[in-house]
Structure 1
Amino acid sequence: MKFQETPLKGAFVVDLEEISDDRGHFARAFCADKFKTHGLKPEIAQINLSFNEKKGTIRGLHYQTPPAAEAKFLRCITGAIYDVIVDLRPDSPTFREHFGIELSATNRTAIYVPEMFAHGYLALTDGAQAYYSASEFYTPGVEGGLRYDDPALAIDWPIPVEVVSEKDASWPLISD
């Protein structure tokens, strides 16, 4: 596994290190020891699979606060998504800054999302699927969200958002 820190300290892009032979290839997709070496939280409470019927579907931006703040480790396994994280740590020099990256079944890149980061993605293809682990259980009483179209964030989504849940469309703007 190859870890590259993003401009948002503590968040990493993780690429596979493939070992190839006549059968194809092998790569480690997760290793708790490697996560610990990079100061990341390797605990897994849940593993989720998200399927998106239509290109232009957005999910997020979601987060959980203490006592159930969660780290996530996400990979796109079918199609392609544009993944965005937002630093919500008030004492961070990158507070409210975001980072975006295309994750796809072709590039097989993953992203590690630290605790107290909002996370969301936009399906770039019909049938896009994301597979991700969460370090804490989903806890409705401590969940929160940011609007994907919040002018204060100014996220430049690569394609138009066409499908959004009522819940994700109703998160308050930061200015509210």
Structure 2
Amino acid sequence: MRFAELEVPGSFVITPDQIGDDRGTFYESMRTDEFERVMGQPFEPRQINYSVSRRNTLRGLHSVADPPAQAKYITCVRGVLRDFVVDLRVGSPTFGRWASTLLDADSGVSVYVPEGVGHGFLTLTDDACICYVLSSAFVPGTQIDINPLDPDLALPWGFTEQPLMSAKDEKAPSLKEVMDAGLLMPWRG
């Protein structure tokens, strides 16, 4: 298992070592002991979610207020998607910057999103399924939504036709509006 830090501090791409034979492949998707060794902190799963989407579905940008805050360990378990993390931690040296990773079921590559960092993705295949391993359980009213098409972020989603989005994401406020409302976590670098 290999860890590579992304341009957003504390966010990582995790690439498993695959063992293949005539039957197929085997790999470890997550090991909390390896995670703790590399990150210097534990990751204790509290909830696991799955999202299944049609091709060209855009979900996000989402984060969770502090408290309870929420880190995410994200893996595409079917299909292909373009994943984005955006630094939303006020005072961070990379505030507003993003990193993108292509996730697909065959590679087993995962992305770790630390607390205070936003997450979103665009599905590139039909029936794409993403798995979220979360560090905290869902608490109503703590979700932070930012419009994924905010021109100030200018995320290069790469869609060629208008993506499918929830009404909630389409109407979500801009990063500036969320920041001005005082909803974002401070940088704790």
Q: TM-score range by the shorter chain?
A: over 0.9
Residue pair 1:41, 1:71 contacting (<8 A) in 2 also: no
Q: TM-score, normalised by structure 1?
A: 0.94
User: Which residue in 1 is equivalent to 2:50?
Assistant: 49
Cα deviation code 1:37-94 (max 9, x no counterpart): 1225411010111100x21111111100111110000111111111111111112110
| Residue equivalent to 2:169 | 168
Shift of 1:28: 1.0
Q: Report the CA distance between 1:24 and its aligned residue.
A: 3.1
How many equivalent residue pairs?
A: 175
Specify whether residues 4 and 167 from structure 1 end up closer, same or farther in structure 2 by C-alpha distance, changes over 3 A only. Answer: same
Q: Structure 1 residues 95, 109: closer, same or farther in 2, change over 3 A?
A: same
**RMSD, aligned CA:** 1.4
> Residue 138 of structure 1 corresponds to which residue in structure 2?
138
* CA shift digits 1:86-143 (9 cap, x unpaired): 1111121101111111101133211000000111111111111101101011112221
- Structure 1 residue runs of 5 or longer lacking an equivalent are none
- Confirm or deny: 8 A CA contact 1:85 1:119 kept in the other structure: yes
Letter in 2 for 1:86: V
The two structures have a TM-score, normalised by structure 2, of 0.87
List runs of 5+ in structure 2 lacking aligned partners.
178-189
Identify the residue that residue 155 of structure 2 maps to in structure 1. 155
Looking at structure 2, the residues matched to 49 and 127 of structure 1 have their Cα atoms a distance apart, in angstroms, of 12
- Deviation for aligned residue 1:175: 3.7
Q: In 1, Cα distance between the equivalents of 2:176 and 2:86?
A: 16
Partners in 2 of 1:127 and 1:26 — Cα distance?
A: 23
Mapping of residues 63-102 of structure 1, within 5 Å:
63-102=63-102
